[in-house]
Amino acid sequence: MNLTVKEIAEVLGGSQDSTQMITNVEFDSRKIIPNSLFVPLKGTLDGHQFAEQAKENGAVATLWSEDISKAPEGLFVFSVSDTKKAFQKLASYYRKRVAPKVVAITGSNGKTTTKDMTEAVLAQKYQTYKTQGNYNNDLGLPYTILHMPETTEVLVLEMGMDHAGDLTLLSQIGKPDAAAITLIGEAHIESLGSRSGIAKGKMEITAGLKKDGILFIPADEPLLQPLVSSLSQKIVTFGLTEGTVQAKVLKTTKESTEFAIGEQNFLIPVIGRYNVKNALVAYSFGHYFGLSDDEIATGLKNFQLTKDRTQWSKAFNGADILSDVYNANPTAMGLVLDSFAELPLPGRKIIVLADMLELGNDSRQMHMQMAQHITDAFAEVYLFGPEMNALYHSLKDKRDHIYYFAHENKKELIETIKKDIQPQDSLLLKGSNGMGLAEVITALQKK
């Protein structure tokens, strides 16, 4: 980022004439480097109290919504009424100044993987920049924009939501040329009320979509059909058996999935039919931005998956661990269970499932519904957390080798699994991030 103090002041309604260059922006004072703009935010702690530390670390300017007399001396100070809104306004300005084509991706599941695939595809032809990690909210998205290089030609933005209205704001900041909704699941159903409410929330991604833009949606989601009927933008559907863009799955292994679109074959280095649908979105973006099938195939084959999304590792004794523990909802859990069940693997398949959070009043029923995905393909089933107790009681009289552990018994869960697994086994761990299954994986990796 290269903005002068004068330029920032003009954007935020101030009047400073300095040509001092600002080359970085941070809201964490510990990450400040020389020539940074510090953005103090108000949360559990008030970021204004860390302005002096930011200055010591190299900040030359700060946003400020407190009494101006309390700002550290020696900093350029931009006085604003709300530092977060000023941060977002600055991001909108910088996005407009750099003027990349903008791709926006949302969905109840698969948006991070789809973002990674899409960036890898478009990087075959363009200078690209994407959302790092899961910086996909009202702070993470402007942070992403303000960290994109000035040479960026295509900006790939992941957009997340917790409540109605969240995506409207993000879409209006990002102003996408093209957008996609990967899936309507049950994530955040507690705040949005129903899958229908979630669908309406995801459709907010079109709030800033350019009038001549395009929206990609799953062909097998009836909740979206009435919501797109009034849009002026072009609508393209994707799916495995229906839609404008279709794929046929050819082969699945532990490390990859092969599929065809028309006469062209593709390979992605991840498992699952659901990931083929994610790849269809990346393919569609690539096609929209003028890439050839060969360029798209190269990008998909070599894309790098963000950590903890269906990631393979090894247990202490050589057993394979498939980690998918960043988030979870019933749709996502069912998809990964079905895919794991279909994999041709040498030893036993063992599953470790933890609670899916934020499901509201229907949480118990939604956990019990996972029973339909727990087949004889799984030799051992470990269930962890208070919500998984409902699934345990629905299964315990129907099958053997099913074990339940309360939330406070994580150490016992780890010890039991360690005693059970054999070197040829494969374990799938799936649950919401808040359940701490990442700690279980780390423990299983250690002797």
At 192 the pLDDT is 76
Q: Can you read off the two tokens belonging to residue 344? A: 């041709």
Give pLDDT, residue 358. Answer: 87
pLDDT value for 186? 81
Comparing 308 with 12, the larger pLDDT belongs to 12
pLDDT digits (tens, 9 = 90+) for 360-408: 889 999 999 999 999 999 999 999 999 999 999 999 999 999 999 999 9
Average pLDDT over residues 1-23: 94
**What CATH architecture is 3-84?**
3-Layer(aba) Sandwich (3.40)
pLDDT grade for 311, boundaries at 50, 70 and 90? confident
Q: Is the pLDDT of residue 327 over 90?
A: no
For residue 48, the model assigns a pLDDT of 97
> What gap in Å lies between CA 197 and CA 223, rounded to an integer?
9
For residues 325 and 361, the answer to whether their CB atoms sit within 8 Å is no
- Would you list the domain boundaries of the chain? 3-84, 99-302, 311-445
Q: Is the CB of residue 257 less than 8 Å from the CB of residue 270?
A: yes
| The pair of three-digit structure tokens given for residue 210, joined into one six-digit string | 């350019």
CA neighbor of 141 nearest in space, from 151, 149, 152, 132: 132
Inform me whether the pLDDT recorded for 314 exceeds 70.
Answer: yes
Mean pLDDT of the chain: 95
Residue type, 205: I
**Residue 180: its pLDDT value, please?**
98
Specify the pLDDT at position 1: 86
Collapsing DSSP to helix, strand or coil, 225 comes out as: helix
State the pLDDT at residue 337: 96
Helix axes 195-202, 166-174, angle to 10 degrees: 20
Q: How far is CA 334 from CA 206, 255, 306, 368, 387, in A?
A: 28, 20, 21, 12, 16
How many Cα atoms within 13 Å fall on the side-chain side of residue 9? 15
Topology alike, domains 3-84 and 99-302: no
What pLDDT sits at residue 134? Answer: 85
The encoded tokens of residue 217 equal 């949606």
Rg (CA), the chain: 24
Q: What proportion of the chain, given as a percentage, has pLDDT over 70? A: 99
* Strand order, beta sheet including 245-246: 128-130, 154-158, 101-106, 178-181, 214-218, 234-239, 245-246
Give the list of residues 6+ apart from residue 169 with CB closer than 8 angstroms, or none.
88, 138
Closest to 226 measured CA to CA, from 188, 192, 196: 196
Residues tagged in the binding site annotation for ATP:
107-113
- Sheet-wide strand order for 349-354: 311-314, 320-324, 426-430, 349-354, 380-384, 402-405
pLDDT attached to residue 287 = 97
CA neighbours within 13 Å on the CB side: how many for 257? 23
Distances (CA, A) of 228 to 156, 219, 223, 287: 22, 12, 10, 21
Range in 100-104, 204-208, 215-219, 332-336 with the lowest mean pLDDT: 332-336
Dist CA 59 CA 27 (whole Å): 11
Query: Is residue 381 helix, strand or coil?
Result: strand
Please write the tens of the pLDDT for every residue from 257-296: 999 999 999 999 999 999 999 999 999 999 999 999 999 9
Return the closest-CA partner of residue 31 out of 50, 3, 7, 8: 50
Residue-level pLDDT at 308 = 60
Q: CATH classification of 99-302 is 1.20.1250.20, yes or no?
A: no
pLDDT digits (tens, 9 = 90+) for 408-441: 999 999 999 999 999 999 999 999 999 999 999 9
To which H or E segment does residue 317 belong?
Answer: none
| Binding-site entries | 107-113
Mean pLDDT on 323-327: 88
Cα–Cα distances in angstroms (integers) from residue 408 to residues 368, 386, 392, 412, 413, in the given order:
21, 10, 17, 9, 10
In this structure, what token pair is assigned to residue 354? Answer: 């933890």
pLDDT in tens, 155-203: 999 999 989 999 999 999 999 999 999 999 887 677 777 889 999 999 9
Q: At 114, is the secondary structure helix, strand, or coil?
A: helix
Give me the CATH topology for the region 311-445: Protein-Tyrosine Phosphatase; Chain A (3.90.190)
